[in-house]
Structure 1
Amino acid sequence: MDSGHRQRTPRTPREKYGAELRLRRIAAELTQEALGEHVVCSPTLISHFEAGRRLPSPDDAQRIDRALGTDGFFARWLQDLDTKYADHFAAVAELEQQARLIQQFALSLVPGLLQTDDYARAVFRSYRANHRPEDLDRAVVIRTERARVLEGPDRPVLWTLLDEAVLRRRVGGGQVMAGQLHRIAELAEEGRLRLHVLPFGAGAHALMQSLLTLMSFEDAAPVAYVEGLLTGHLLDEPALVRESQTSYALALSDALSREESLALVRAAAEEHERGQQH
């Protein structure tokens, strides 16, 4: 690629949906405000649809089709885009499928791509006040399906940086936790991920305020993703992505070596198996 050509931001299916909606709205000579009146929603929500940040409901999509005279086009396309993920994470899950390099940092729990079924079930159970077994089963299956991106010859290069707190917090009991840590160690030993641990002894570090995922692509600009309770932010502004990359590099520089990290993960797994607490 010509070094003088600015790389595009990767487009997810929902962003393509939004771009097509914008083109059809402009062709119909409607403003966002005018389309919002037809759909019975705010112009801001139309803006979110067009930017790919939100998807319309099935009823909204039908009203869009009527307003634009698109004969069910957007309602039919929406069925293919109906996502099983939360709105703030749906685009991230799509981009994981395109990434050639994923660098993830976890502050307090094992990243979703690496979670075992038992660990994931314990995580989901912890924040659902009235959980039903079938709901937990579905959530675990969805998370397991995400991890398939790590299988096959075209899987992305995966770097995983874990705060030591991830190893020490006993999720699901000693045996579940031990199984989870052994799984991470096995993936590292097989060369399927590059593993580093930030020990408590490192003190303050550049990522101690948030989890972070960086994704790089063959034909698009890199992105960063940060997440908090019930919310997440996908960052594509070049300056913010560069700052996120710098923070990751700084934290990585404070981490243990691969060999030391693997030994610590294995030792923590054995401690959980013996029921020891920290």
Structure 2
Amino acid sequence: MANGARQAAWEFFGAELKRRRENAGFTQAALGARVFVSGGYIGQFEQAIRKPQLDVAQRIDEILQTEGFFERTWRKLIDDARYADYFAEVVELERTATKICEFAPALVPGLLQTAEYTRAVTLASNPFVTEEYIQEKVAARVERAQVLADATGPVYWVILHEHVVRIPVGGGAEMAAQLDHIAELARQRRALVQVLPTSAGAYPLMGRMVTLFEFEDAPPTAYTEAVYSGSLLDDPALVKRVQGAYDLLRAAALPPKASLALIESAAEDHRRCAGTT
């Protein structure tokens, strides 16, 4: 679904929510209290500024007695078979965010991955899948990355642990190409890239991938991922703590210029190991 059509569909979702809420005699605050969000959030859902999580859509159906209408609509708009269930909402947030900040302790983040890197990661986790499955995952990852090419896309700030640039995912030549891609995005100022060196030792959010989203007309949100699971964090106090930890990571990381030099040097090391220099 194209972004314009998707937004129109969310506007329909919001209009239906407002209509059915008012018909049921609820104010935004009253409905919010029943489904465990603020009245302001209900207003943002109705204006298509923010998208509800699945459990909120399900509770709205229960309170407004809409026989699953909002859950079915949510699934149609957000669920995408190309992504894990826990990650489909994150893809939607990437499309609407004004700023994205990521910390990657082990893997190149999806928005920066080349097709070859994605292929290698997919095969490592799924050694018995079909070629069709792999191509589908690669195509979905490439499509996600287009958000950084869009002139109206988000500001993108990423911190990579040095391990990410040193491990030759897919082989030396493929990893060199991946690092060249990251370096080019940094040089084009489409991404602000920092590297957290191994010499930094212990660091905040030790070993945890985290993404912070900011929006034009909605509160910030954080996302963190574990083994085959992920969590969106909406609680303002918790998001603020994650933002504070990210600020500490920025302070410990190399400056952008030094980070770019390290990435370029690592790319040359991978090329030498692959015998392609």
Say yes or no: does 1:206 pair with 2:200: no
Say yes or no: does 1:123 pair with 2:128: no
Q: Structure 1 residue 229: deviation in Å?
A: 1.0
- Percent of counterpart pairs with the same letter? 45
Distance 2:70 2:159 in 1: 43
Give unpaired runs (5+ residues) of structure 1: 1-10, 29-49, 57-63
Superposition TM-score, scaled by structure 2 size: 0.75
How many residues are treated as equivalent by the alignment?
238
Q: Which residue of 1 aligns with 2:141?
A: 143
Distance 1:147 1:255 in 2: 24
Distance 2:55 2:93 in 1: 16
Pair 1:178–1:55, CA change in 2 (3 A): farther
Q: Which residue of 2 aligns with 1:265?
A: 263
Q: Structure 1 residue 155: deviation in Å?
A: 1.1
Higher relative contact order, structure no. (Cα contacts within 8 Å, ≥ 6 residues apart): 1
SS in 2 for 1:162: strand
Distance 1:73 1:214 in 2: 27
**1:243 paired residue among 216, 229, 241:** 241
Distance 2:243 2:119 in 1: 31
Q: Which residue type is aligned with residue 191 of structure 2?
A: L
Pair 1:26–1:199, CA change in 2 (3 A): same
**1:83 paired residue among 63, 80, 84:** 80
Deviations 1:20-59 (CA, angstroms, capped at 9, x unpaired): 689969978xxxxxxxxxxxxxxxxxxxxx9633699xxx
Please give the residue correspondences for 1:94-113 in structure 2 after superposition, counting only pairs within 5 Å. Answer: 94-113=92-111
Q: Would the aligned equivalents of 1:214 and 1:224 in 2 still touch at CA under 8 Å?
A: yes
Q: Which residue of 2 aligns with 1:195?
A: 193
Q: Structure 1 residue 255: deviation in Å?
A: 0.7
Pair 1:87–1:21, CA change in 2 (3 A): farther
Q: Which residue of 1 aligns with 2:53?
A: 52
Q: Which residue of 2 aligns with 1:229?
A: 227
Distance 1:25 1:86 in 2: 31
Give unpaired runs (5+ residues) of structure 2: 1-6, 25-50
Q: Structure 1 residue 74: deviation in Å?
A: 6.8
Q: Which residue of 1 aligns with 2:164?
A: 166
Q: Would the aligned equivalents of 2:176 and 2:270 in 1 still touch at CA under 8 Å?
A: yes
Deviations 1:124-165 (CA, angstroms, capped at 9, x unpaired): 000013121110000000111111111222011010100000
**1:176 paired residue among 161, 174, 186:** 174
SS in 2 for 1:213: strand
Q: Which residue type is aligned with residue 119 of structure 2?
A: R
